[in-house]
Amino acid sequence: MVDVMAFRKFKPGNATHLSVDFVIIGGGIAGLACAVALRRVNHRVTVLEEDDVYTLEHGRSGPCRMPPNLSKILYHWGLEDEVRAIAIKSESISLLLYETGELLGKHHWDDEVMKETRGEFVFTRHSALRRLLYDVAISCGAEVRLNTKVAAIDPEERTVTLEGSGEQLRADVVVGADGLGGLTRRILHHASEEPHMGAMDMFRHDNELGYLPIASTTVARELITADPDLAYLYDQEHTTMFNWFGHGHSVLGFPIIDGSEFGLFIYGPSNSRGGSWNTIASNTDLEAVLGTAEPKQPSEIGKVSSEADMSYSALDDWVHKSGRMVVVGEAAHPLPPGSVQATALTVEDAAVLAKLFSHLRTEDQIGSFLWAFQDLRQPRCNAVMAKEAGIMYYMTMPPGEQQQLRDETMRAKRDAGIGILQASDEAEESPEWAEIKEVFGYDAEDEADNWWVEWGLLRERSKGVDVSYGVPSPIQVERAISS
C-alpha cells in the first residue's frame, strides 16, 4: 500500500489544457518515470508491466549510477528527500590499472561545479530507484498493472492486447518503454538495419538470494572490509568510485545506497552471446574474463552468474507513422549496460515528453509533439551514446601509444598532486572535464521549454490559435490530480 503522504514535497507541473490517455508498455525506469512525469501535468496514465511486485522490488538488481542530469529532474519533482534516502553521494573517483593495481590518479568532484549542474552525482541500486518511481507513480494517480504482459500493439488503432485475457486497451498515445527486446522497437525497426554487436559483454553476479538481486554485482560492505586486501575500497577520505582500466577489460566499483553495499560492473570479452539482464553467465566465463586482473579487486568475492550483451541496431524514427506511438528509454536509445548515462537518458525522456504534452490543447497536436520529442531527444542521445562508446574504449584500450599517453598524462597529474580531470596547463579546465560538465549540466525540461517557446508557439500562431491563454498553476494541477 502506497503512503501518499510519503511524498509531501512532490511538485506537480503546469497542467495540460487537454488531458488524454497514455498507455505505457513497460514499467522499468523509463516507463515509470514517464508515468510520474505525465501525471504531474495531469494526463491519464496506465502502465502495463509483465513483472510482479516482488521482481520489481528485489529482482535482478545491481548498482545504478545517477548523474546530476538525472538527479536534478527528480529534485525538481520534489523527490530530493526520497532520492537521498536511497542513495549515497559520489565524492571522488580513482583510476587504476587493471593488470597491476597501480593508482593512476584521483579526482575530487568540485562542490561548486556540481552546484552549477543543479543536481548531484549519487549511487543507488537499480531496484531502489524503480521502486521509488513505482510508488510515486501510484501515489500521483497512475494505474500501474503488474503481471500484465502486452502481446500485441496496433499503433494505427492505438490499441494494445494483453497476453492471456486478450483484453484490449485503447489510448490516445501508446508509449513503448519496453526496453531493448520489446515489441514497440520491433514495430519501428527497419529490416534493412544490421544489428550492431558491442565489443564487450557485461557479467553479473548471483548472491545467496539466488537469481534475483543481481545486475553486475553487489557485495556487502562487511565482506570487503573484512578482507585486508580490499579494505582500501572503504578506507577513503571521500566516497569513491574506482575504475580499473585494462586491456579489453574494465571494472567499475562504488559504494551504493548508504554505503552498506559495494556495486560492481565488470566488462570483458566472453565466448557466449545473446544474453540479456536476465540470462545467466557461467562462472567459467567470468574467471576467463578476470584472468588478467590484479588480485586486489573485489571481483574475487562471490560467484558470477549472469551476462548481458549489447547487440542492437539504431532506430531511424522513434515515432510510428500513425503519429500515436513513440518509444522511450532503452527501446529508443540502448546504451552499453552499466553506462553512466543509461538510466539518466530515460528519465530525461520522461521529463521532455511530459513538458511537451503539458501544452496540449487539441488532439491534432499529438503527432507534432511526438515528433518534437524525437527532434529534441535524438541529438542529445546520439551525442551521449558517442561519448559512452568513447569512455568504454578509454577504459579498455589495448597496449600502445594511446594507452601510454593516457597513463602517462594521468601519472604526471598524480605526481603533481592535481586531479585527473583538472587542466595541467593554463587552461581553466581539461577537455574531459568540460565534456563531463556539458553532459551533467544538461537540463531536459529547459530544452523542452525552449522548443515550445521557439517552435511550438510559432506553430500554434500560424494555425491561428490564440496562445495568450494563461497557464494553470501547480496548485490547480495538484487539485486536479487529487480530484
**Number of residues engaging ligand FAD in binding (CB under 6 A):** 34
Judged by CB under 6 A, does residue 69 bind ligand FAD?
no
Q: Which stretch binds ligand FAD (CB under 6 A): 44-52, 66-74, 229-237, 287-295?
A: 44-52
Task: State in angstroms the smallest separation of the CB of 178 from ligand FAD.
Answer: 4
Judged by CB under 6 A, does residue 155 bind ligand FAD?
no
Judged by CB under 6 A, does residue 262 bind ligand FAD?
no
The C-alpha atoms of residue 66 and residue 59 are separated, in whole angstroms, by 19
Residue with smaller CB distance to ligand FAD, 299 or 422: 299
The C-alpha atoms of residue 444 and residue 442 are separated, in whole angstroms, by 6
Judged by CB under 6 A, does residue 213 bind ligand FAD?
no
φ and ψ of 340, to 5 deg: -60, -30
Q: Which of 15, 23, 29, 73 binds ligand FAD (CB under 6 A)?
A: 29
Q: Which of 12, 13, 26, 155 binds ligand FAD (CB under 6 A)?
A: 26
Judged by CB under 6 A, does residue 41 bind ligand FAD?
no
Kindly give the interhelix angle for 431-441 and 68-76, rounded to the nearest 10 degrees: 20
Site string for ligand FAD, 284-323 (x = CB under 6 A): ----------------------------------------
Q: Which of 23, 30, 95, 132 binds ligand FAD (CB under 6 A)?
A: 30
Task: State in angstroms the smallest separation of the CB of 459 from ligand FAD.
Answer: 29
Q: Where are the alpha helices (DSSP H) in 89-199?
A: 111-117, 126-139, 183-188
Q: Which stretch binds ligand FAD (CB under 6 A): 5-13, 29-37, 297-305, 404-412?
A: 29-37
Task: State in angstroms the smallest separation of the CB of 237 from ligand FAD.
Answer: 26
Cα dihedral 367, 372, 374, 376, rounded to 10, equals: -170
Q: Which of 16, 46, 61, 358 binds ligand FAD (CB under 6 A)?
A: 61
Judged by CB under 6 A, does residue 255 bind ligand FAD?
no
Judged by CB under 6 A, does residue 253 bind ligand FAD?
no
Judged by CB under 6 A, does residue 25 bind ligand FAD?
yes
Does residue 25 contact residue 327 with C-beta atoms inside 8 Å?
A: no
> Across 309-365, where does the E strand assignment appear?
325-327
Task: State in angstroms the smallest separation of the CB of 409 from ligand FAD.
Answer: 29
Q: Which of 7, 10, 13, 28 binds ligand FAD (CB under 6 A)?
A: 28
Does residue 410 contact residue 105 with C-beta atoms inside 8 Å?
A: yes
The C-alpha atoms of residue 290 and residue 201 are separated, in whole angstroms, by 13
Judged by CB under 6 A, does residue 179 bind ligand FAD?
yes
Task: State in angstroms the smallest separation of the CB of 308 from ligand FAD.
Answer: 8
Enter the C-alpha cell of residue 202: 557485461
Does residue 159 contact residue 153 with C-beta atoms inside 8 Å?
A: yes
Q: Which of 96, 140, 150, 325 binds ligand FAD (CB under 6 A)?
A: 150
Task: State in angstroms the smallest separation of the CB of 286 from ligand FAD.
Answer: 17
Cα dihedral 62, 64, 231, 95, rounded to 10, equals: 130
Judged by CB under 6 A, does residue 251 bind ligand FAD?
no
Residue with smaller CB distance to ligand FAD, 254 or 451: 254
Does residue 211 contact residue 53 with C-beta atoms inside 8 Å?
A: no
* CA 152-156-160 angle, 5° bins: 25
Q: Which stretch binds ligand FAD (CB under 6 A): 20-28, 105-113, 236-244, 355-363?
A: 20-28
Judged by CB under 6 A, does residue 330 bind ligand FAD?
yes
> Across 279-373, where does the E strand assignment appear?
303-308, 325-327
Cα dihedral 189, 195, 200, 201, rounded to 10, equals: 70
Does residue 86 contact residue 74 with C-beta atoms inside 8 Å?
A: no
Instruction: Go through 333-346 and write b for each residue having 16 or more CB atoms within 10 A of its CB, e for each that does not.
Output: bbbbbbbbbbbbbb
Burial of 454 from C-beta contacts in 10 A (0-12 / 13-18 / 19+): exposed
Helix, strand, coil percentages in the chain from 3-state DSSP, rounded to 5: 40, 20, 40
Residues that bind ligand FAD in the complex, under the rule CB under 6 A: 25-31, 48-51, 60-64, 126, 149-150, 177-179, 182-183, 215, 277-278, 329-331, 338, 342-343, 346
